[in-house]
């Protein structure tokens, strides 16, 4: 797998982890931290569907944008605008990454990685095990989680508006210290999303990477 596909794979897994907030804490939580995490858990549990536009800034300043659609449990679609060739679709069972330029599809079984737990309902961040920091800054709440091994190795910082709770952006730091930032805009929740959004269409014209 090329360096680009490795970067995309890490980004995809982390994006999905962030969207469904399966971060976790290792640092001791004080009463204020616990209250903040309970508030964020309640906010995330109240969301069953979401759509937003996004802007993604890569480690070298490269800029991508597009639309994201999500529906619990486990369904998500990232539509990257041209010239990016990527389309990411999770149907709740399989994560598919289509590259229209290379005419290929990477597939990752949801059940075989942490996303089987991550893309879930009934979130309780106070009981998770990888959160390293809960930080309050002017107008924002930042929750940082670290994964020290496996495909999600690296660090994610989720940034919420505060005191009005809304997920605004996240920053991914990979194992090499490279950072990717994704910001959401025009977020709408509890929207009606057609089922075919979470189906990767026209796959016959692509080849599987494992073939």
Q: Where are the domains of the chain?
A: 3-191
Distances in Å between the Cα of 61 and the Cα atoms of 14, 44, 55, 174, 179 are 19, 30, 12, 15, 10
Spell out the residues 6+ positions from residue 120 whose beta carbon is closer than 8 angstroms to its own. Answer: 20, 22, 72, 73, 74
Distances in Å between the Cα of 209 and the Cα atoms of 92, 98, 99 are 20, 10, 11
- Give the separation between CA 141 and CA 126, rounded to whole angstroms: 15
Q: Which fold has domain 3-191?
A: outer membrane lipoprotein receptor (LolB), chain A (2.50.20)
Strands 104-109 and 131-137: unpaired
Strands 140-147 and 86-91: unpaired
Q: What is the pLDDT at residue 183?
A: 92
- Give the separation between CA 41 and CA 95, rounded to whole angstroms: 24
For residue range 63-109, what is the model confidence (pLDDT) as tens digits?
999 999 988 888 889 899 999 998 988 888 888 889 888 888 888 77
| Banded pLDDT at 47 (limits 50, 70, 90) | confident
Q: Which residue has the higher pLDDT, 203 or 183?
A: 183
Q: What is the pLDDT at residue 139?
A: 92
pTM of the model as a whole: 0.79
83: preceding bond cis by omega (within 30 degrees): yes
For residue range 4-30, what is the model confidence (pLDDT) as tens digits?
444 555 555 555 555 444 444 555 788
* pLDDT over 90 (residue 51): yes
Q: Which of 160, 173, 206 is nearest to 47 (CA)?
A: 160
């Amino acid at each position: 797998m090329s360096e680009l596909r490795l970067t995309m794979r890490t980004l995809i897994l982390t994006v999905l982890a962030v969207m469904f907030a399966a971060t976790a804490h290792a640092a001791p939580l004080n009463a204020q931290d616990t209250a903040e995490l309970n508030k964020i858990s309640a906010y995330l549990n109240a969301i069953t569907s979401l759509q937003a536009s996004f802007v993604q800034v890569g480690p070298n300043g490269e800029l991508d944008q597009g639309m994201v659609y999500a529906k619990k449990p486990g369904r998500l679609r990232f539509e990257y605008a041209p010239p990016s060739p990527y389309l990411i679709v999770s149907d709740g069972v399989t994560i598919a990454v289509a590259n229209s330029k290379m005419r290929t599809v990477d597939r990752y079984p949801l059940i075989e990685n942490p996303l089987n737990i991550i893309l879930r309902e009934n979130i309780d961040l106070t009981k998770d095990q990888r959160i390293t920091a809960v930080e309050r800054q002017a107008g924002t709440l930042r929750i940082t989680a670290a994964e020290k091994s496996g495909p999600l190795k690296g660090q994610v910082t989720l940034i919420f508006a505060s005191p009005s709770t809304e997920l605004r952006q996240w920053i991914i730091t990979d194992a090499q210290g490279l950072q990717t930032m994704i910001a959401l805009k025009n977020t709408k929740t509890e929207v009606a999303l057609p089922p075919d959004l979470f189906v990767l269409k026209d796959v016959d014209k692509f080849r599987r990477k494992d073939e």
